[in-house]
Amino acid sequence: MATHEPAEDRLRRQLDSIRAQGRRRWICLISDDASSPEALAGLQRAVDGDERFVVSRSDERLGFLANFERAIGMIPPEAELIALADQDDRWFPDKLEGLLATLGQNPAAALAYSDMRILDGDGRVLSGTYWYLRRNRFDDIASLMVANVVTGAASLFRRELLADALPFPPARPGHALYHDHWLALCALATAEIAYLDRPTHDYFRYDDSITVREAPNWLRPESGVAGRLRLHWGRLTRRIRMGSASPGWEAIYLDRWLTIRQLTTILELRLGDRIQPPKRRALKRLLSAESSPIGSAWLLVRCLRPLIGRNETLARERVLLGALIWRRRGRRRRRGA
Protein backbone atom coordinates (compact mmCIF):
# COMPACT_ATOMS: atom_id res chain seq x y z
CA MET A 1 0.00 0.00 0.00
CA ALA A 2 1.20 3.48 -0.88
CA THR A 3 -0.05 6.32 1.32
CA HIS A 4 0.21 10.08 1.42
CA GLU A 5 -1.67 12.26 3.89
CA PRO A 6 -4.29 9.55 4.47
CA ALA A 7 -7.55 10.54 6.14
CA GLU A 8 -7.66 8.35 9.22
CA ASP A 9 -11.31 7.34 8.93
CA ARG A 10 -10.94 6.26 5.30
CA LEU A 11 -7.68 4.49 6.02
CA ARG A 12 -9.19 2.58 8.95
CA ARG A 13 -12.05 1.42 6.73
CA GLN A 14 -9.57 0.08 4.18
CA LEU A 15 -7.34 -1.58 6.78
CA ASP A 16 -10.35 -3.18 8.46
CA SER A 17 -11.44 -4.59 5.09
CA ILE A 18 -7.98 -6.10 4.64
CA ARG A 19 -8.13 -7.59 8.14
CA ALA A 20 -11.49 -9.14 7.22
CA GLN A 21 -10.09 -11.13 4.29
CA GLY A 22 -11.08 -14.77 4.16
CA ARG A 23 -7.49 -15.61 3.30
CA ARG A 24 -5.69 -15.08 6.58
CA ARG A 25 -2.03 -15.51 5.62
CA TRP A 26 -0.78 -12.11 4.48
CA ILE A 27 1.29 -9.09 5.43
CA CYS A 28 0.59 -5.50 4.41
CA LEU A 29 3.59 -3.30 3.63
CA ILE A 30 2.82 0.41 3.75
CA SER A 31 5.14 2.94 2.16
CA ASP A 32 4.19 6.42 3.33
CA ASP A 33 5.17 9.27 1.06
CA ALA A 34 6.45 11.89 3.51
CA SER A 35 3.09 12.53 5.16
CA SER A 36 2.77 15.20 7.82
CA PRO A 37 3.40 14.19 11.44
CA GLU A 38 -0.36 14.38 12.10
CA ALA A 39 -1.27 12.06 9.21
CA LEU A 40 1.56 9.69 10.06
CA ALA A 41 0.36 9.51 13.66
CA GLY A 42 -3.11 8.58 12.41
CA LEU A 43 -1.59 5.86 10.25
CA GLN A 44 0.36 4.49 13.20
CA ARG A 45 -2.78 4.47 15.35
CA ALA A 46 -4.69 2.57 12.65
CA VAL A 47 -2.15 -0.27 12.55
CA ASP A 48 -1.18 -0.26 16.22
CA GLY A 49 -1.09 -3.73 17.75
CA ASP A 50 -1.33 -5.61 14.43
CA GLU A 51 2.11 -6.89 13.43
CA ARG A 52 0.88 -7.86 9.97
CA PHE A 53 1.08 -4.18 9.00
CA VAL A 54 4.56 -2.76 8.45
CA VAL A 55 4.89 1.01 7.99
CA SER A 56 7.90 2.72 6.45
CA ARG A 57 7.95 6.47 5.86
CA SER A 58 9.95 8.15 3.12
CA ASP A 59 11.72 11.28 4.31
CA GLU A 60 11.29 12.98 0.94
CA ARG A 61 8.23 13.35 -1.29
CA LEU A 62 8.38 10.73 -4.03
CA GLY A 63 5.07 10.94 -5.86
CA PHE A 64 2.68 8.03 -6.31
CA LEU A 65 4.73 6.16 -8.95
CA ALA A 66 8.01 6.10 -7.02
CA ASN A 67 6.15 5.48 -3.76
CA PHE A 68 4.52 2.33 -5.14
CA GLU A 69 7.93 1.23 -6.40
CA ARG A 70 9.30 1.82 -2.91
CA ALA A 71 6.47 -0.24 -1.39
CA ILE A 72 7.15 -3.08 -3.81
CA GLY A 73 10.82 -2.94 -2.84
CA MET A 74 9.79 -3.76 0.73
CA ILE A 75 8.38 -7.16 -0.27
CA PRO A 76 10.26 -10.05 1.40
CA PRO A 77 11.75 -12.74 -0.86
CA GLU A 78 9.42 -15.46 0.46
CA ALA A 79 6.28 -13.64 -0.74
CA GLU A 80 4.98 -15.41 -3.85
CA LEU A 81 1.95 -13.22 -4.63
CA ILE A 82 1.50 -9.45 -4.48
CA ALA A 83 -1.66 -7.37 -4.32
CA LEU A 84 -1.68 -3.58 -4.51
CA ALA A 85 -3.92 -1.46 -2.29
CA ASP A 86 -4.99 2.16 -2.32
CA GLN A 87 -5.38 3.97 0.98
CA ASP A 88 -9.10 4.77 0.80
CA ASP A 89 -10.82 1.84 -0.95
CA ARG A 90 -12.77 -0.97 0.72
CA TRP A 91 -12.04 -4.58 -0.13
CA PHE A 92 -14.71 -7.26 -0.23
CA PRO A 93 -13.97 -10.12 2.23
CA ASP A 94 -13.28 -12.61 -0.57
CA LYS A 95 -11.09 -10.37 -2.71
CA LEU A 96 -7.80 -12.20 -2.21
CA GLU A 97 -9.45 -15.62 -2.42
CA GLY A 98 -11.24 -14.71 -5.64
CA LEU A 99 -8.17 -13.33 -7.37
CA LEU A 100 -6.03 -16.22 -6.15
CA ALA A 101 -8.54 -18.70 -7.57
CA THR A 102 -8.53 -16.82 -10.88
CA LEU A 103 -4.74 -17.05 -11.09
CA GLY A 104 -4.92 -20.73 -10.16
CA GLN A 105 -7.35 -21.41 -12.99
CA ASN A 106 -5.02 -19.65 -15.44
CA PRO A 107 -1.48 -20.97 -14.86
CA ALA A 108 -0.16 -19.07 -17.90
CA ALA A 109 -1.30 -15.76 -16.41
CA ALA A 110 1.21 -13.54 -14.63
CA LEU A 111 -1.49 -11.22 -13.29
CA ALA A 112 -5.19 -11.35 -12.47
CA TYR A 113 -7.53 -8.43 -11.91
CA SER A 114 -11.22 -7.88 -11.29
CA ASP A 115 -14.08 -5.47 -11.72
CA MET A 116 -14.90 -2.88 -9.04
CA ARG A 117 -17.83 -0.83 -7.80
CA ILE A 118 -17.60 2.95 -8.01
CA LEU A 119 -18.94 5.01 -5.10
CA ASP A 120 -18.98 8.71 -4.36
CA GLY A 121 -17.45 10.20 -1.24
CA ASP A 122 -20.69 9.69 0.69
CA GLY A 123 -20.82 5.97 -0.07
CA ARG A 124 -23.52 6.11 -2.75
CA VAL A 125 -23.04 3.62 -5.58
CA LEU A 126 -22.38 5.45 -8.84
CA SER A 127 -21.85 2.30 -10.87
CA GLY A 128 -21.90 -1.41 -10.10
CA THR A 129 -19.10 -1.90 -12.61
CA TYR A 130 -15.97 -0.13 -13.77
CA TRP A 131 -16.99 -0.80 -17.38
CA TYR A 132 -19.83 1.70 -17.68
CA LEU A 133 -17.99 3.73 -20.32
CA ARG A 134 -16.10 1.12 -22.33
CA ARG A 135 -15.72 -2.61 -22.72
CA ASN A 136 -12.98 -4.61 -21.06
CA ARG A 137 -10.23 -6.09 -23.23
CA PHE A 138 -7.07 -7.46 -21.69
CA ASP A 139 -5.58 -9.71 -24.39
CA ASP A 140 -4.72 -7.10 -27.05
CA ILE A 141 -1.36 -5.50 -26.27
CA ALA A 142 -1.82 -2.64 -28.74
CA SER A 143 -5.11 -1.71 -27.08
CA LEU A 144 -3.53 -2.04 -23.66
CA MET A 145 -0.67 0.22 -24.70
CA VAL A 146 -3.08 2.88 -25.96
CA ALA A 147 -5.39 2.75 -22.92
CA ASN A 148 -4.89 0.73 -19.75
CA VAL A 149 -7.75 -1.43 -18.47
CA VAL A 150 -5.91 -3.05 -15.54
CA THR A 151 -6.35 -1.18 -12.27
CA GLY A 152 -3.58 -1.82 -9.78
CA ALA A 153 -5.92 -1.83 -6.78
CA ALA A 154 -7.92 -4.65 -8.43
CA SER A 155 -4.86 -6.81 -9.19
CA LEU A 156 -2.99 -9.80 -7.84
CA PHE A 157 0.21 -10.90 -9.56
CA ARG A 158 2.98 -13.45 -9.28
CA ARG A 159 6.28 -12.37 -7.83
CA GLU A 160 8.12 -13.34 -11.03
CA LEU A 161 6.56 -10.32 -12.74
CA LEU A 162 8.72 -7.99 -10.65
CA ALA A 163 11.91 -9.23 -12.32
CA ASP A 164 10.60 -7.73 -15.57
CA ALA A 165 8.80 -4.68 -14.21
CA LEU A 166 11.44 -3.26 -11.86
CA PRO A 167 12.73 -0.68 -11.92
CA PHE A 168 9.72 1.27 -13.16
CA PRO A 169 10.35 3.46 -16.21
CA PRO A 170 11.20 7.03 -15.27
CA ALA A 171 8.31 9.46 -15.47
CA ARG A 172 9.08 12.37 -17.78
CA PRO A 173 8.66 15.77 -16.07
CA GLY A 174 5.08 16.94 -16.36
CA HIS A 175 3.80 13.69 -17.88
CA ALA A 176 2.05 11.03 -15.83
CA LEU A 177 3.17 7.41 -15.85
CA TYR A 178 1.17 4.78 -13.98
CA HIS A 179 2.51 1.74 -12.19
CA ASP A 180 -0.49 -0.45 -12.97
CA HIS A 181 -0.22 0.26 -16.70
CA TRP A 182 3.43 -0.75 -16.72
CA LEU A 183 2.83 -3.91 -14.67
CA ALA A 184 0.02 -4.94 -17.02
CA LEU A 185 2.17 -4.38 -20.11
CA CYS A 186 5.00 -6.48 -18.66
CA ALA A 187 2.53 -9.23 -17.74
CA LEU A 188 0.91 -9.37 -21.17
CA ALA A 189 4.13 -9.03 -23.18
CA THR A 190 5.56 -12.35 -22.02
CA ALA A 191 2.56 -14.17 -20.53
CA GLU A 192 -1.19 -13.69 -20.12
CA ILE A 193 -3.58 -11.69 -17.98
CA ALA A 194 -6.63 -13.25 -16.31
CA TYR A 195 -9.85 -11.49 -15.37
CA LEU A 196 -12.37 -12.07 -12.57
CA ASP A 197 -15.69 -10.82 -13.89
CA ARG A 198 -17.12 -9.40 -10.69
CA PRO A 199 -16.23 -6.54 -8.33
CA THR A 200 -13.87 -7.35 -5.47
CA HIS A 201 -13.66 -3.89 -3.92
CA ASP A 202 -15.31 -0.50 -3.65
CA TYR A 203 -13.52 2.40 -5.28
CA PHE A 204 -14.45 5.73 -3.70
CA ARG A 205 -14.29 8.90 -5.80
CA TYR A 206 -13.26 11.67 -3.43
CA ASP A 207 -12.79 15.19 -4.76
CA ASP A 208 -9.48 15.47 -2.92
CA SER A 209 -8.02 12.13 -4.03
CA ILE A 210 -4.96 11.95 -6.27
CA THR A 211 -6.80 10.06 -9.00
CA VAL A 212 -9.57 12.64 -9.16
CA ARG A 213 -7.16 15.58 -9.18
CA GLU A 214 -5.20 14.03 -12.03
CA ALA A 215 -8.32 13.16 -14.06
CA PRO A 216 -10.29 16.42 -14.19
CA ASN A 217 -12.17 15.25 -17.29
CA TRP A 218 -13.50 12.11 -15.59
CA LEU A 219 -17.12 11.47 -16.56
CA ARG A 220 -19.60 10.47 -13.88
CA PRO A 221 -21.57 7.25 -14.53
CA GLU A 222 -25.08 7.88 -15.82
CA SER A 223 -28.12 5.62 -15.91
CA GLY A 224 -31.03 5.42 -18.32
CA VAL A 225 -31.21 6.40 -21.97
CA ALA A 226 -30.93 10.14 -21.25
CA GLY A 227 -28.02 9.53 -18.92
CA ARG A 228 -26.13 7.51 -21.51
CA LEU A 229 -26.72 10.23 -24.08
CA ARG A 230 -25.29 12.81 -21.66
CA LEU A 231 -22.32 10.54 -21.07
CA HIS A 232 -21.55 10.19 -24.77
CA TRP A 233 -22.07 13.91 -25.32
CA GLY A 234 -19.62 14.60 -22.51
CA ARG A 235 -17.04 12.35 -24.18
CA LEU A 236 -17.51 14.13 -27.51
CA THR A 237 -17.20 17.64 -26.09
CA ARG A 238 -14.16 16.62 -24.06
CA ARG A 239 -12.38 15.42 -27.20
CA ILE A 240 -13.33 18.58 -29.09
CA ARG A 241 -11.88 20.70 -26.29
CA MET A 242 -8.66 18.71 -26.33
CA GLY A 243 -8.24 18.88 -30.08
CA SER A 244 -9.34 22.46 -30.74
CA ALA A 245 -7.16 24.15 -28.10
CA SER A 246 -4.09 25.65 -29.72
CA PRO A 247 -1.61 23.53 -27.72
CA GLY A 248 -3.94 20.49 -27.83
CA TRP A 249 -2.28 18.34 -30.49
CA GLU A 250 1.17 19.19 -29.22
CA ALA A 251 0.15 18.24 -25.68
CA ILE A 252 -1.30 14.92 -26.87
CA TYR A 253 1.83 14.15 -28.86
CA LEU A 254 4.18 15.00 -26.00
CA ASP A 255 2.11 13.24 -23.35
CA ARG A 256 0.30 10.27 -24.83
CA TRP A 257 2.31 9.45 -27.93
CA LEU A 258 5.76 9.90 -26.45
CA THR A 259 4.69 7.84 -23.43
CA ILE A 260 3.68 5.04 -25.82
CA ARG A 261 7.08 5.31 -27.51
CA GLN A 262 8.85 5.28 -24.16
CA LEU A 263 7.03 2.23 -22.79
CA THR A 264 7.29 0.25 -26.03
CA THR A 265 11.01 0.95 -26.32
CA ILE A 266 11.69 -0.06 -22.71
CA LEU A 267 9.67 -3.26 -23.15
CA GLU A 268 11.72 -4.16 -26.21
CA LEU A 269 15.05 -3.38 -24.56
CA ARG A 270 14.21 -5.11 -21.31
CA LEU A 271 12.32 -8.19 -22.49
CA GLY A 272 13.69 -8.67 -26.01
CA ASP A 273 12.90 -12.05 -27.55
CA ARG A 274 10.78 -13.00 -24.55
CA ILE A 275 8.00 -10.80 -25.91
CA GLN A 276 5.66 -13.16 -27.74
CA PRO A 277 6.09 -12.64 -31.52
CA PRO A 278 2.48 -11.59 -32.32
CA LYS A 279 2.63 -9.04 -29.53
CA ARG A 280 5.98 -7.69 -30.69
CA ARG A 281 4.56 -7.24 -34.19
CA ALA A 282 1.53 -5.41 -32.79
CA LEU A 283 3.72 -3.00 -30.84
CA LYS A 284 5.97 -2.33 -33.84
CA ARG A 285 2.90 -1.70 -35.99
CA LEU A 286 1.63 0.80 -33.43
CA LEU A 287 4.94 2.67 -33.35
CA SER A 288 5.15 2.69 -37.14
CA ALA A 289 2.11 4.97 -37.29
CA GLU A 290 4.47 7.92 -36.84
CA SER A 291 6.75 7.08 -39.76
CA SER A 292 4.96 4.72 -42.14
CA PRO A 293 1.87 5.22 -44.35
CA ILE A 294 0.93 1.61 -43.66
CA GLY A 295 1.19 2.20 -39.93
CA SER A 296 -0.90 5.35 -40.23
CA ALA A 297 -3.54 3.44 -42.20
CA TRP A 298 -3.59 0.75 -39.52
CA LEU A 299 -4.13 3.38 -36.83
CA LEU A 300 -6.88 4.96 -38.95
CA VAL A 301 -8.67 1.62 -39.23
CA ARG A 302 -8.46 1.22 -35.47
CA CYS A 303 -10.28 4.54 -35.15
CA LEU A 304 -13.34 2.77 -36.58
CA ARG A 305 -13.39 -0.02 -34.00
CA PRO A 306 -15.97 1.66 -31.72
CA LEU A 307 -18.48 1.32 -34.57
CA ILE A 308 -18.44 -2.44 -34.00
CA GLY A 309 -18.42 -2.21 -30.22
CA ARG A 310 -14.66 -2.45 -29.68
CA ASN A 311 -14.27 0.67 -27.59
CA GLU A 312 -11.79 -0.53 -24.97
CA THR A 313 -9.39 2.30 -25.83
CA LEU A 314 -12.07 5.01 -25.58
CA ALA A 315 -11.24 5.81 -29.23
CA ARG A 316 -7.92 7.33 -28.24
CA GLU A 317 -6.53 6.27 -31.60
CA ARG A 318 -8.37 9.27 -33.06
CA VAL A 319 -6.56 11.83 -30.97
CA LEU A 320 -3.27 9.98 -31.42
CA LEU A 321 -3.72 10.11 -35.18
CA GLY A 322 -4.54 13.82 -34.96
CA ALA A 323 -1.40 14.42 -32.92
CA LEU A 324 0.74 12.53 -35.44
CA ILE A 325 -0.74 14.54 -38.31
CA TRP A 326 0.08 17.72 -36.36
CA ARG A 327 3.63 16.47 -35.93
CA ARG A 328 4.08 15.74 -39.64
CA ARG A 329 2.70 19.11 -40.67
CA GLY A 330 5.12 20.80 -38.30
CA ARG A 331 8.03 18.91 -39.82
CA ARG A 332 6.97 19.90 -43.34
CA ARG A 333 6.67 23.55 -42.35
CA ARG A 334 10.16 23.49 -40.86
CA ARG A 335 11.59 21.88 -44.01
CA GLY A 336 9.76 24.44 -46.15
CA ALA A 337 11.22 27.28 -44.11
In 3D, which of 323, 271, 278 has the Cα closest to residue 299? 323
pLDDT value of residue 303: 96
Please give the CATH architecture assigned to the domain spanning 2-213. Alpha-Beta Complex (3.90)
199 pLDDT above the threshold of 90: yes
The full DSSP string for 176-244 is: ---HHHHHHHHHHHHSEEEEEEEEEEEEEE-TTSHHHHT-TT------HHHHHHHHHHHHHHHHHHHHH
**Strand (E) or helix (H) holding 327:** helix 316-336
pLDDT value of residue 223: 65
Q: Share the mean pLDDT of the chain.
A: 92
pLDDT in tens, 28-50: 999 999 999 999 999 999 999 99
pLDDT value of residue 207: 78
Extents of the domains making up the chain: 2-213, 224-336
pLDDT in tens, 132-156: 999 999 999 999 999 999 999 999 9
Q: What are phi and psi for residue 56, nearest 5 degrees?
A: -135, 125
